[in-house]
Chains A and B, each alone.
Chain A
Amino acid sequence: MTSKQIEKRFDFFKTVLCVLISFVIAFILILLVSKDPFETFKVFLIGPLQSVRRMANVIELAIPLTFCGVGVAIMYSANQFSMITQSSFFLAACLSSWFAIYVKLPRGLHSLLVILMGAIIGGAIAAVPAFMKVKWKASEVVSSLMLNYIVNNFVAYFLIYVFKDKDAGFNASYEFHKSAKLTVLIKGTRIHTGIIVCALVVVFAYLLLYKTKWGYAIRAVGQNQDFAKYSGIAVASVMMYSQIIGGIISGIGGSVEMMGLFTRFTWEAPPTYGNDALMVGILARYNPAMVPLSALFLAYIRTGADVMSRVTDMPIEFVFIIQGVVIMLVAADMFLAKWKHKLIVKNAQKQIAVKEVAK
């Protein structure tokens, strides 16, 4: 076994261990709070599996998380820690809705237009912190966070002053044309054709990152910017396009979510998918191929907590504690690092011994 293989196995094992630890902590919390802890924990663990509708809920929730998670995976692979997925998703959902209301096109084509607009909007807003970083060395973390506030208020303004349906009785846009909506795939659930778009995006992102020259440049810049520069890679342009692609993918996610699940735009505040995507991305170690898995995991514990809060005395908020623990453990590079080192050293010594015997 090579050291590389040991590392890979170890990283997988470590992730599983982190999840287990967080579940133990979850159980302890439930023990402390709940009157019937075993029942509550059972509901949390297997609640989402107990009906088709709940299973569908998990998948519906995993779709936007996957889109944003893939966006994060690409940006973070280039070492660009932009928080713009939040805005790309939110702004794209809002502005592309306009095209679902005021444009008329045949079915299919209309959805395509809306998603395309979402992509453009998501990419455009992500370009702002990217450009500020390249041009003025403004930290993309800070500028994207600040931009998120601006976008939040802009969307609220847009909803209330531009396309609010006065007859709706609450803050909601006019209804989307039927032709823009994505079709439901499985009867009795809300799982829509957006899942196909999602799968395509995952495959596209994986190929982009690991099989194309652009992806190579992203990874080279992400691992060592000086090395990339020395090798002749145009570092600034990589910083730009990695963030824009991340924004495009999150933007597609926003439009797909809107056209898949809703009939009007009603979000006065952004859904948390953009920030949840950070967790999804980190859990997947920025590998787009692993993002759907980690999105499903997050969607599963969210749904589990939701079911639990409805049928037991445990509040839903406790799921955030679990999330936090998982992320902290996965993100902490040094967690179990000594153990890993021991494994690698032991293996190396074994190989030397084998060689000597062979002689």
Chain B
Amino acid sequence: MPEEILLMDNITKVYANGFVANKDVTLSVNKGEIHALCGENGAGKSTLMKVLFGSETPEEGRIVIKGEEVKINNPLEAIALGVGMVWQHFMLCPSLTIAENLILGMEPKKFGKFGPLNMAQANKVAQEACEKYGFKLDVTRKVEELAVGNKQKVEILKALIRGAEILILDEPTAVLTPQETAELFVQLRHLKELGHTIIFISHHLDEVKELCDRLTVLRLGKSVGTAIVADVTQQDISRMMVGRDVMLKIDKTKAQPTETVLKIRDLTYKDEEGRDIVKGFSASVRKGEIVGIAGVEGNGQREISEIITGLLPLNNGEITIDGQSIRGKSIRQIREMGVAHISEDRMTYGCSENLSVKDNIISDRYYKKDYKQGPLMNNKKLDSEVDELIKEFLVKCGDRNEPVRMLSGGNMQKVVVAREFSGDTRLIVANQPTRGIDVGATEFIRRKLVELRDGGAAVLLITADLNEALELSDSLVVMCGGEIVAYFEDASQVTDFILGEYMLGLKRMSDEEIGRVCYD
């Protein structure tokens, strides 16, 4: 009979903006197993783990570790209870050595508690830990010199050296090469043999199949179920992950596309570390249609949207808008070609929290001739236009001078779309336009997108939300690993199950089928 080491019972977490991230989620993990936590983006995996690690306080539910009910108020308490976290984005000091990073906060001292750092002892402790857990690392090397895979090892060691019995790994393979992934798995199995318990967050089903003993699936903040990995197929898991719950119906007629607005050919993009993020992406979007790009986040969609809109440089490949290349054009020039951009990162790019609603709405037009009055801006005209947009887009705010930070997430996004959807729009690049906002605002924004399509705009919709992809798109592209793996000319013929298989990389269409995305 396996011993239950961790039980998270009926956890409910509501964020300050009213978003319910976890609703009665239950997770039971046995000692010495590798337990997969699966689910799409926004399913509540990270929130659940933050609750376990003490970074978030749940509204309801209890946590039981080794049979004892505990309250975890902060990460230090979590560590004391033997819970360790390996973040996807490394929390390391690049300019310090591996040993220094490992002992940070628990430094061995010479001559008692307040003495100077005992570096020799530190190196020894670090070296012993490496040997014990089977990591081959030179602890005197600086972290900045390490490859990503080794940085991750340091991160894991950091948790282990602090006595972690339950180790949480948040999408650890997302940043690794296949070779590094294989090495990681060997090490994780070794840790399992040593008696550690591992919670492995991933949406790569093949990895889950290969590595894990049991799995729990979350969907839209609720737990769908727990299964023994050996008993289920990848298809079963995929079905558990992507089943649709709420149907938000948007009435729309069949698209009447005309001429091509956006043409992307052989777009490739490498990140700073030289990894291929986008590999030979080609697609076209015509006036009067919504082309959806579905896919798990982090498969190159963000980069594509940022290259089209000028935030990232166009290095290889070609992008034209109405036949004009965007190469070498500034963001403002691209915007003046009629491109609107909803960024997936609302708080960084989409709006400026301390500026007023008005200042947020006018940021793409304030300089134009229409709003000039001598050397000054014509504030009367701007004010009346902003007031109209606030009304049209149903932004709930005190008045136009209220700082955006005082609005709810849904209303912030309405401010963003009020700016992006007004003016002469030829092409809309909408990246996760309704992520993390309430149902009312979601429906409003989706309706607006269809309205703009019918008014003759070309829409490129990037979304990780299957419901949104299927409901809004006229034709649909599926991305996985930086390239297109499927193209559906008529999105209404696709089911979420089929889509899920392509998104998670279980299936791939032939090049010929994919090639139809470039119809000219």
Q: A residues touching B (Cβ–Cβ < 8 Å)?
A: 2-4, 207, 211-213, 216-217, 219-220, 223-224, 226-234
Contact = CB atoms under 8 A, between A and B. Distances in A.
Given A4-B398, A211-B377, A232-B335, A216 B348 contact: no
A231 B367 contact: no
Given A3-B398, A216-B359, A232-B335, A226 B376 contact: no
A230 B349 contact: yes
Given A220-B355, A223-B355, A231 B364 contact: yes
Contacts of A213: 366-367, 371-372, 377
Contacts of A224: 348, 351-355
B331 interface: yes
A223 B309 CA distance: 22
A217 B351 CA distance: 14
Contacts of A233: 332, 363
Tell me what chain A mostly uses at the interface: helix, strand, loop, or mixed.
Answer: helix
A149 B334 CA distance: 44
B373 to A, nearest CB: 9
Given A220-B355, A232-B363, 6 more contacts: A2-B398, A212-B377, A216-B367, A217-B367, A228-B352, A232-B331
A220 B406 contact: no
Interface of B: 309, 311, 330-332, 334-336, 341, 343, 348-355, 359, 362-364, 366-367, 371-372, 375-377, 379, 398-399, 401-403, 406
8 contacts: A212-B377, A223-B353, A227-B348, A227-B351, A228-B352, A228-B363, A229-B349, A230-B311
Contacts of B402: 2-4
A227 B366 contact: no
Given A212-B376, A229-B311, A220 B398 contact: no
Nearest to B335: A232
Contact of B375 (A212, A228, A232): A212
Contacts of B350: 227, 230
Given A211-B377, A216-B359, A220-B359, A230 B343 contact: yes
Max chain B Cβ within 10 angstroms of own Cβ: one of A3, A211, A213, A230:
A230
Interface centre among B359, B371, B377, B399 (most CB of A within 10 A): B377
A234 B363 CA distance: 12
Nearest to A348: B406
Contacts of A2: 398-399, 402
Contact of A216 (B332, B366, B399, B406): B366
Most interface-central of B311, B336, B341, B398 (chain A CB within 10 A): B398
Contacts of B371: 213
B367 to A, nearest CB: 5
A216 B377 contact: yes
A195 B406 CA distance: 40
B355 A219 contact: yes
Closest 5 CB pairs of A and B: A232-B332, A2-B398, A231-B363, A224-B352, A230-B349
A228 B311 CA distance: 11
A2 B398 CA distance: 6
Contacts of A223: 352-355
Contact of B376 (A3, A4, A211, A229): A211
